[in-house]
Structure formats: structure tokens, C-alpha cells
Amino acid sequence: MSMKSRGGRFLSLFALMAGVVAAGCSGNDSNPTGPILPFAPFAQQDLRVGTGADAATGRRVTVNYTGWFYDPTRPENKGQQFDTSVGRQPFTFTIGLGQVIRGWDQGVPGMKVGGQRRLTVPPELGYGANGSGGVIPPNATLVFDIDLIDVQ
């Protein structure tokens, strides 16, 4: 292969890549997928370790919780609060039956009654690309503080 044909291929490839980059940097500000939301991987942190019964898959648990949108610029990554059971009736569900988001089914087991755990839940373990009920936008990472009240 001659140097000239290799150089021609290189220039063609370079021109193609420049066109792709230019298209991606166009001045069109419309984003059909919505705003880019901050992302964090799944994480759990025990804020207080309980001393009571263990939460495990298949067990019915009662919790109080507060949920926030993940915001890495805010203290404890807690952005705007979107829901809480505090001051209302606690929430009861059975772990592992899909009654709650997968982040809860993965993050609540191992807690003990009296414990408090913070969960950071990425979209794929939360409400995903659909969001929820006009309250949770698509692809939102969420932060929950969960207090385990009872295990049955």
C-alpha cells in the first residue's frame, strides 16, 4: 500500500471524525432526552446500627423514610426533598417481592430494628428512564434515609 493511499484514508477518517464532533457540538440546545442529572452509584451507609430483629429477604418490614433528589453540591448529597413518611403513617412492605424499588430491596436487608441507613439509589435501581408520577424525573439518582421500625 502506498504512502499516498494511507494518507488519503487518514484524511478521510479525520474528516469523518471532525464532522461527528462538529455535529455533537452544534448550537442546537434542544435535548430530547431531558436534562442531564447527576449520577452516583448504589451506596448504603449505616447512620445508626439497630439492636433489634434483622431485616431479611422475605420478611415484612415497617419503616419511616425521607427521600431527596441526589445533588452532589449539597450537604450529604441531599437535594430537594420529594417525599417522607415522617409525621404520617410508616410504610410497610415485604423485602424481595418487588413492592418497592430495587434499591430498597437491596439496601434494607441487613438492617436491624432501631437502625437508620442512608441509601444512594441510581436510576437503574430506582425509577429508571420513566421516572414516577410526575414527581421523580427520568434517570434520577435518589437519596433515602430509612429508619427500621419493625420486622415481622
Please tell me which residue in 69, 105, 144, 149 is annotated as part of the active site.
Answer: 144
Give yes or no: 82 in active site: yes
Domain 43-151 has CATH 3.10.50.40: yes
Please tell me which residue in 82, 91, 93, 150 is annotated as part of the active site.
Answer: 82
The domains of the chain are located at: 43-151
Cell 432501631 belongs to which residue? 114
Please tell me which residue in 69, 70, 105, 127 is annotated as part of the active site.
Answer: 127
The pLDDT tens digits of the residues spanning 73-109 come to 999 999 999 999 999 999 999 999 999 999 999 999 9
Q: Is the pLDDT assigned to residue 5 strictly greater than 50?
A: no
CB 67 within 8 A of CB 100: no
Q: Which three cell numbers stand for residue 57?
A: 429477604
The pLDDT tens digits of the residues spanning 109-137 come to 999 999 999 999 999 999 999 999 999 99
Residue 22: Cβ within 10 Å count: 9
Please tell me which residue in 69, 70, 95, 101 is annotated as part of the active site.
Answer: 101
CB 115 within 8 A of CB 48: yes
Please tell me which residue in 83, 91, 93, 150 is annotated as part of the active site.
Answer: 83
Give yes or no: 101 in active site: yes
Give yes or no: 127 in active site: yes
* Residues 81, 93, 148, 104, CA torsion sign: negative
In the three-class reduction of DSSP (H, G, I as helix; E, B as strand; rest coil), residue 53 is classed as coil
